[in-house]
Amino acid sequence: MKSFTQVTGIAAPMDRANVDTDMIIPKNFLKSIKRTGFGKNLFDELRYLDEGQPDQDCTGRPLNMDFPLNFPRYQGAQILLARENFGCGSSREHAPWALDDYGFRCVIAPSFADIFFNNSFKNGLLPIILSDEIVAQLFDEMYASEGYELSVDLEAQTVTTPSGESFGFEIDEFRKHCLLNGLDDIGLTLQDADHIRAYEEKRQQSAPWLFGAVKPE
């Protein structure tokens, strides 16, 4: 996984509550067996005026010019500002993959859906929770000022505006550690392989029915 330390970049809006994962990456693009290449279909049904197809070259497709991500001022954005319950719906990790592939490194919202939140950390995409009031303030400042950039510092756990105003955010120590160092979860867990085996052994004695193999016939 790629690490996350600091990012300074243009903030772009996704100004609605309950943005669901079907909206982030519609189901017809989930048929890919790869992890990459979802960026061109991020928010596909909002971003384009036609119906997208998997594996399609999107360069000639008609753009919905009412959709903020298509505005010139938000090109190259790395930080997505969103409203409450961002990422609700399915468990598809294609959602953070699409955001990452598009170029976002960070999503800031008052709240996130649990599975999306969790999936983001596995992909070097930092979801930051700030209060309703602060998010509302950031939206207002962003709309008021073209080229509005935010600086995110994971080590310091701060989001800083162009005027130098800084907001702290909370993050689990373990997730922070993994993100800062780009650590692979599996390798870390396997350091506890002895614990897992010990648990398994004990459990197999006390609840053997949980270890019933599923057999072909």
Partner 1 sequence: MAGKTLYDKLWDAHLVKARDDGSALIYIDRHIIHEVTTPQAFEGLRMADRKPWRVDSIVATPDHNVPTTADERASGVAGIEDPVSRIQVQTLDDNCDEFGIVEFKINDKRQGIVHVIGPETGACLPGMTIVCGDSHTATNGALGALAHGIGTSEVEHVMATQCLVAKKMKNMLVKVNGTLNPGVTSKDVVLAIIGEIGTAGGTGYAIEFGGQVFRDMSMEGRMTVCNMAIEGGARAGMVAVDDKTIDYVKGRTYAPKGDQWEAAVADWRNLVSDEDAVFDKVVEIDGASIKPQVSWGTSPEMVLPVDATVPNPADETDEVKKSGIERALEYMGLEAGQKITDINIDRAFIGSCTNSRIEDIRAAAEVAKGRKVAANVIQALVVPGSGVVKAQAEEEGLDKILIEAGFEWREPGCSMCLAMNADKLGNGEHCASTSNRNFEGRQGYGGRTHLVSPAMAAAAAIAGHFVDVNDL
Q: What residue ranges bind partner 1 (CB under 8 A)?
A: 16-18, 20, 22-23, 26-28, 30-35, 45, 51, 54-55, 83-85, 88-93, 96, 111-115, 118-119, 122-123, 172-174, 177, 185-186, 189-190, 192-193, 195-196, 199-200, 203, 207-216
Our CB check for partner 1 shows the closer of 156 and 196 to be 196
Compute the C-alpha angle 9/16/86, nearest 5°. 70
Q: What is the arrangement of strands in the sheet containing 106-109, beginning at the earlier edge strand?
A: 126-129, 106-109, 79-82, 6-14, 149-153, 158-160, 166-168
Our CB check for partner 1 shows the closer of 2 and 35 to be 35
Instruction: Find the shortest distance in angstroms from Cβ 170 to partner 1.
Output: 12
Task: Dig out the tokens for 140 from the structure.
Answer: 């207002």
From residue 147, give the alpha-carbon distance in Å to each of 16, 37, 75, 118, 141.
Answer: 21, 27, 9, 30, 11
CB atoms < 10 A from the CB of 44, how many?
Answer: 23
From residue 54, give the alpha-carbon distance in Å to each of 46, 67, 73, 134.
Answer: 16, 21, 28, 38
Our CB check for partner 1 shows the closer of 156 and 198 to be 198
Instruction: Find the shortest distance in angstroms from Cβ 129 to partner 1.
Output: 11
Instruction: Find the shortest distance in angstroms from Cβ 17 to partner 1.
Output: 5
Our CB check for partner 1 shows the closer of 76 and 193 to be 193
Cα atoms found within 13 Å of the Cα of residue 136, Cβ hemisphere only: 3
Instruction: Find the shortest distance in angstroms from Cβ 94 to partner 1.
Output: 8
Q: Are 92 and 30 in contact (CB under 8 A)?
A: yes
Residue 184: beta bridge partners?
none
Instruction: Find the shortest distance in angstroms from Cβ 10 to partner 1.
Output: 23
Our CB check for partner 1 shows the closer of 28 and 151 to be 28
CB atoms < 10 A from the CB of 179, how many?
Answer: 24
Our CB check for partner 1 shows the closer of 2 and 203 to be 203
Kindly state the DSSP code that residue 70 receives in the 8-state scheme: G
Instruction: Find the shortest distance in angstroms from Cβ 78 to partner 1.
Output: 22
Residue type, 61: R
